[in-house]
């Protein structure tokens, strides 16, 4: 099992448009072989001082895959290849953290 945090930094004011396009591809991703979780998230409003300010132009996609091979297949899936050009103009930067359980 691997965990992935895909942090998508968006140009100002583009989050709603990005989420609209992302919502169209989520069902196809969740149906992929090896997908355990694929959840787009945004910073929650809390009173916890450790959290810091909410990031209005960031979406973090929390993913879990059965294996790295499944993630690699996801990255070249036809629906992902079709989706990327639709959101390219909204995105300023994407970062991936690929994690494995430590204990």
**Per-residue confidence at 69, pLDDT binned at 50, 70, 90?**
very high
Give the model confidence (pLDDT) of 35-65 as tens digits: 999 999 999 999 998 988 899 999 999 999 9
Of the chain, the percentage scoring pLDDT greater than 70 comes to 100
Look up the domain containing 61 and give its range: 2-46+54-99
pLDDT at 52: 86
What CATH number corresponds to the domain at position 17? 3.30.70.100
Tell me the whole-structure pTM to 2 decimals: 0.94
pLDDT at 33: 98
The count of structural domains within the chain is 1
CA distance 49 to 46: 8
Give the Å distances, CA to CA, from 94 to 26, 38, 49, 50: 17, 16, 26, 24
Averaged pLDDT of the chain:
97
């Amino acid at each position: 099992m691997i965990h992935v945090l895909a942090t998508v930094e968006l140009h100002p004011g583009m989050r709603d448009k990005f989420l609209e396009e992302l919502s169209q591809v989520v069902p196809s991703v969740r149906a992929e072989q090896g997908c355990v979780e694929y959840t787009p998230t945004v910073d929650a409003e809390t009173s916890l001082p450790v959290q810091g300010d909410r990031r209005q132009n960031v979406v973090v996609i929390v993913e879990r895959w059965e294996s790295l091979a499944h993630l690699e297949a996801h990255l070249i899936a036809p629906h992902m290849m079709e989706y990327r050009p639709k959101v390219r103009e909204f995105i300023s930067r994407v970062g991936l953290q690929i994690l494995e359980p430590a204990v």
